[in-house]
């Protein structure tokens, strides 16, 4: 296969390689089916971004893309790159505007038959309780600046002390819900102002809260370890750092643009603006990004706690009987220092995951003891009409993808094109026919997020499963969704 001047080789059934040529420091690798690869070649832009990322100074092994790849700012969404911690660069384009956008899964003791007659009320009450939409705010008492700075420094442990969740939740959140190098003192006043009233809100776009039923178990051992069983009601939450994280990214893109010139970093796309990790600009971005990551974990923590209260009220059930427990929380847009094997030697690298999920395998010291035998839970949401998946990370992921897997279905059509395609259609009725109740702030969001706008997540998950990167544990079917 040919893409511009690059001859693409097929490594195995679901892995393709763009060879290192010109100013590329490393090859590019894309996990995809043959049909997907042909479509990506026709589309052009996402593959060009994989090539562009391979130009980053200090990049190790490969510029990687997961099968849910689509165009993003700088990096493709679904892109992964690791750069040398001492001599490499950090690029905000490798994290994105919605810093630590991620997903958390909570389990319950309820079964499908327990909720059918109150599902409508449940979705309505969730929609009333958890603010959605662009600029949504005031889910909880507005934080003071001092409180916000404390939260930015310490992450979910602080918000739990305010009554949102339990200590159990810390262990089942990636990085225990806190990047310790966060420094609130370098955050702009504008970012702080935007964050004061947005804690516990979903936001807009592809963010959602779903009430799902576990409709298929693939790996009984892994499912049992996570407390999942067939016909069980679970809750999937997808949100990020809201306007706070957006502002942090926006602030530092300006700084990084100047830093790239200052440090004579030449890249094929200005959206990849970078600074050496060990420079003042690089260190400050990492510290500011960590604040936004801590905000996002806390945000999902509050949303989960509010959802739990709604369940208890709607079903008149006690905390003890509901058993509303966090299974795991994973990040999608983040950059972190990790140790990985490069050329048979362990090395510190900065792993950028942009629309990609960490997928550490069994026996990793960075995952809960409960999951040591099965690997880290990997949560892969689909569209709001079909399925989502729970998977587990593997040793192969650690060796091949810096412990990374896909993060979702991946867009098939842009938001604008999806809106055009939706004209004249009764979208609520279409989703209702799929057995899903939807509450959303606006018709535009529903049009942007309709199932037809996305690839089939089953195809994406199967590529990862068949490649041995993340293994299927369970499939979730949406029953009700709230969106912005």
Residues annotated as catalytic are 407
Instruction: Extract the runs of DSSP E, i.e. beta strands, from 252-371.
Output: 275-276, 325-331, 333-342, 345-354, 357-358
Query: Distance (Å, rounded) from C-alpha 23 to C-alpha 16?
Result: 20
Q: Which long-range contacts (CB under 8 A, 24 or more apart) does 425-428 make?
A: none
Instruction: Name the one residue in this structure whose structure tokens are 């009320």.
Output: 121
Could you give the strand order of the β-sheet that contains 28-31, starting from the edge strand earlier in sequence? 9-12, 15-18, 28-31, 59-70, 77-84, 345-354, 333-342
**CB count, 10 Å around CB of 216?**
14
Q: Is 272 helix (H, G, I), strand (E, B) or coil?
A: helix
d(CA 42, CA 471): 30
Beta-carbon contacts of 34 under 8 Å, excluding residues fewer than 6 positions away, are 10, 13
Q: Classify each residue of 162-180 as buried b or exposed e, where b means 16 or more C-beta atoms within 10 Å of its C-beta.
A: bebbeeebbebbbbbbbbe
Q: What does each C-alpha distance from 168 to 161, 164, 237, 302 come to in angstroms?
A: 12, 12, 18, 14
Burial class (CB in 10 A: 0-12, 13-18, 19+), 5: exposed
CA atoms within 13 Å, Cβ hemisphere of 56:
39
Question: Do 289 and 283 contact (CB within 8 A), yes or no?
Answer: no
Taking CA atoms, 383 is separated from 396, 420, 452, in Å, by 27, 18, 9
Cα–Cα distance for residue pair 73/287, rounded to 1 Å: 21
Q: In the structure encoding, which two tokens stand for residue 436, read together?
A: 């899903």
């Amino acid at each position: 296969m040919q893409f511009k001047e690059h001859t693409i080789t097929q490594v195995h059934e679901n892995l393709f390689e763009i060879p290192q040529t010109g100013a590329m420091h490393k090859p590019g690798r894309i996990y995809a089916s043959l049909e997907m690869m042909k479509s990506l070649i026709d589309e052009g832009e996402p593959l060009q971004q994989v090539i562009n990322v391979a130009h980053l100074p200090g990049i190790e092994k490969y510029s990687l893309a997961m099968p849910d790849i689509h165009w993003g700012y700088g990096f493709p969404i679904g892109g992964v790159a690791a750069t040398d911690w001492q001599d490499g660069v950090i690029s905000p384009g490798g994290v994105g505007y919605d810093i630590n956008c991620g997903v958390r899964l909570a389990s319950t003791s309820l079964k499908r038959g327990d909720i059918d007659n109150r599902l409508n009320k449940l979705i309505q009450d969730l929609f009333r309780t958890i603010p959605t939409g662009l600029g949504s705010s005031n889910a909880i008492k507005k934080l003071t600046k001092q409180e916000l700075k404390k939260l930015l420094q310490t992450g979910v442990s602080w918000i739990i002390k305010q009554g949102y969740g339990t200590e159990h939740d810390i262990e089942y959140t990636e990085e225990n819900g806190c990047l310790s190098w966060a420094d609130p003192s370098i955050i702009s006043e504008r970012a702080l102002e935007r964050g004061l009233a947005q804690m516990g809100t979903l936001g807009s776009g592809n963010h959602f809260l779903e009430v799902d039923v576990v409709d298929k178990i693939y790996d009984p051992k892994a499912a049992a370890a996570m407390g999942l069983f067939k016909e069980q009601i679970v809750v999937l939450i997808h949100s990020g750092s809201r306007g706070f994280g957006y502002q942090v990214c926006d602030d530092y893109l300006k700084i990084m643009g100047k830093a790239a010139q200052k440090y004579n970093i030449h890249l094929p796309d200005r959206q990849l603006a970078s600074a050496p990790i060990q420079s003042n600009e690089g260190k400050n971005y990492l510290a500011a990004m960590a604040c936004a990551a801590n905000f996002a974990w806390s945000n999902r923590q509050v949303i989960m706690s509010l959802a739990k209260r709604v369940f208890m009220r709607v079903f008149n059930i006690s905390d003890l009987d509901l058993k509303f427990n966090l299974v795991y929380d994973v990040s999608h847009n983040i950059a972190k220092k990790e140790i990985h094997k490069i050329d048979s030697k362990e090395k510190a690298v900065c792993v950028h995951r942009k629309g990609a999920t960490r997928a550490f395998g069994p026996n990793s010291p960075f995952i809960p003891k409960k999951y040591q035998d099965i690997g880290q839970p990997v949560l892969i949401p689909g569209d709001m009409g079909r399925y989502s998946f729970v998977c587990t990370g593997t040793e192969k992921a650690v060796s091949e993808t810096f412990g990374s897997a896909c993060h979702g279905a991946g867009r098939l059509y842009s938001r604008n094109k999806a809106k055009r395609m939706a004209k004249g259609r009764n979208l609520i009725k279409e989703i209702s026919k799929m057995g899903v109740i939807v509450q959303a702030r606006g018709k535009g969001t529903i049009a942007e997020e309709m199932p037809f706008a996305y690839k089939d997540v089953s195809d994406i998950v199967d590529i990862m499963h068949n490649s041995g990167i993340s293994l299927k544990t369970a499939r979730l079917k949406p029953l009700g969704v709230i969106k912005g």
